[in-house]
């Protein structure tokens, strides 16, 4: 899962997308999976598991 790939060490969106999805532009705003990822990330932060 992409959330598990977040390390807090400054990984940029394109690197994260390439690592998780095999496509550097997979998390661009125009991609449907990007909206799902943003929602999951917000829920993850709100649950207190990670700091934004």
Greatest alpha-carbon span in the chain: 29
Mean of pLDDT values over 2-14: 67
CB 52 within 8 A of CB 8: no
> What is the per-residue pLDDT across 15-52, written as a single tens digit (0 to 9) for each?
888 888 899 998 898 998 888 888 887 887 777 655 55
Q: What is the pTM of this model?
A: 0.61
Which residue in 39, 36, 34, 38 sits closest to 24, CA to CA?
A: 34
Domain regions of the chain by residue span = 2-46
């Amino acid at each position: 899962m992409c959330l598990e790939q977040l390390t807090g060490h400054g990984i940029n969106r394109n690197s994260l997308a390439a690592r998780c999805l095999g496509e550097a532009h997979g998390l661009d705003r125009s991609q449907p999976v990007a909206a799902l990822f943003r929602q999951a990330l917000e829920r993850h932060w709100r649950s207190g598991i990670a700091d934004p």
